[in-house]
Chain A
């Protein structure tokens, strides 16, 4: 079990939107895209696996994020690739809401109950 890192507070991300957290703050290999969708938070590696685009700028719909440049799609919960032209899954990280804080557990696989 890794140590959690506070990356944002409740209210920092509007529902249906994403924000980009710099890797300098998370110590991860890539920036982190933090999404809020239907009352839950999700974290993915920010750079699309297809081309250089920030998934935090993407379109959130039906539990997935669509890349703003070429409309490749990824599952918010698992990072699984869902649509061409992307064809490699991305990395999903566990996030937890603790009080007002949103905590990232880098490298940990999110569970079904991810908040």
Chain B
């Protein structure tokens, strides 16, 4: 029998003074074996994984808690005391820049009675004080002051009651990631070959990237996996779902020419659940004119290699498992925050190359908003699809009717051009891999689970 022991995943495990004799009974955290809900060999998926509450709660502790998760961009923090708040799974988190300008991340929940100690989206502060009883925490999450501390006995140790820190925090070319899991592999290992594909967006400019315009946030009906999976694996929907947007954007008003509309391309299939798809037609680059003219593609070929410029730097899509996704041409990075089995919150940023001239930055910012902002002409197509899928998925017969992920079955191979395993552009291969990784994590006890 396994029980859950939510020892804070910090370097200092909880002492008896913090946990007392508490022990959470295993019955509170039932575990579902999901191996019969995902069949990657035959390419079918059981819809219960999008609707079931027990599965969702198991995801929070076995998929989100142990994985590296995206927090934000380093350009959101520039001076000491800067902070922003976000979520890791459903856990509220403060990300701050401390006195030494080091990035810190910790749980946004007071250790006394559990209220959030910061309710702002972002700002600058000297301390995080709980508005309930006044426990005050410094920029590293350490407990700095307890009103009426004399009321506690001599065993009370302020050191023991700081905000729960993440176990590991690291950045990859400006992107901040963290995990609660002290045993997670280092970030570079967790990204693996995916980093090569990410560099098509993050390493175009020697000066790196920045985010502008704040974080755009909106709520959607739909399980978070519908969005994460689509960005990993689904070019297939483009010509159908986005038909009207493609008509509007085409210079002729008749939509893209056949060679571009039916572009060749590849799909990267990562064993750790990441995925990326990209056309390889040289003109399949649905970008803003000013941005297109800004880039020196020959210089980029020298910098990143032709395969990357003609591949993942085109109009591609990608997901870093589990819930960080991006679009290199649109300058969109986003996270799909889970909010129960039926709802997600989309948090999206506009990402720009730092050395772009101001007018190019502005053109790219507007292009991102027009295409993939909260009311973007592509974004609204996608959100509508996910919400439509979710809206009917609790029907009994509906929920028991499996979904088809069979496109490109057996097509995965090393193609000699792109790192790792790739499939065709039009394929469900990265989706199958996404769910294989998901099922593997769901069926593996996480670091916080101990065998009795």
Contacts and interface: CB of A to CB of B under 8 A. Distances in A.
Interface string B119-139: 000000111010000101000
B392 to A, nearest CB: 49
Contacts of B136: 51, 53, 69-70
A51 B129 CA distance: 12
Grouping DSSP codes into helix (H, G, I), strand (E, B) and loop, the B interface class, with mixed when no group exceeds half, is loop
Contacts of B134: 51, 69-70, 85
Interface in B91-132: 125-127, 129
Grouping DSSP codes into helix (H, G, I), strand (E, B) and loop, the A interface class, with mixed when no group exceeds half, is loop
B298 to A, nearest CB: 49
B144 interface: yes
A70 B147 contact: yes
Contacts of A57: 126
B42 interface: no
Interface string A55-98: 00100000000001111000000000000010000000000000
B145 interface: yes
A47 to B, nearest CB: 12
A50 interface: yes
Interface residues of B, number: 9
B307 to A, nearest CB: 53
Contacts of A68: 125-127
B145 A53 contact: yes
Given A51-B134, A69-B134, A69-B136, A85 B126 contact: no
B147 A52 contact: no
B51 to A, nearest CB: 45
Contact of A52 (B125, B126, B129, B145): B145
Contacts of A69: 127, 129, 134, 136, 144-145
A84 to B, nearest CB: 11
A104 to B, nearest CB: 24
A87 to B, nearest CB: 12
Contacts of A71: 129
A51 B145 contact: yes
Contacts of A70: 129, 134, 136, 145, 147
B257 to A, nearest CB: 60
A26 B145 CA distance: 26
Contacts of B127: 68-69
A52 B144 CA distance: 9
B275 to A, nearest CB: 46
Interface in A16-70: 50-53, 57, 68-70
A63 to B, nearest CB: 20
Contacts of A50: 147
A50 B136 CA distance: 13
Contacts of A51: 134, 136, 145, 147
A6 to B, nearest CB: 28
A28 B182 CA distance: 48
Contacts of A52: 145
A85 B129 CA distance: 13
Nearest to B130: A70
B80 to A, nearest CB: 12
Nearest to A57: B126
Contacts of A85: 134, 147
26 contacts: A50-B147, A51-B134, A51-B136, A51-B145, A51-B147, A52-B145, A53-B136, A53-B145, A57-B126, A68-B125, A68-B126, A68-B127, A69-B127, A69-B129, A69-B134, A69-B136, A69-B144, A69-B145, A70-B129, A70-B134, A70-B136, A70-B145, A70-B147, A71-B129, A85-B134, A85-B147
Interface of B: 125-127, 129, 134, 136, 144-145, 147
For the complex of A and B, 9 pairs with smallest distance between CB atoms:
A68-B126, A69-B136, A70-B134, A57-B126, A51-B145, A69-B129, A69-B145, A51-B147, A68-B127
Given A69-B145, A70-B147, A85-B147, 16 more contacts: A50-B147, A51-B134, A51-B145, A53-B136, A53-B145, A57-B126, A68-B126, A69-B127, A69-B134, A69-B136, A69-B144, A70-B134, A70-B136, A70-B145, A71-B129, A85-B134
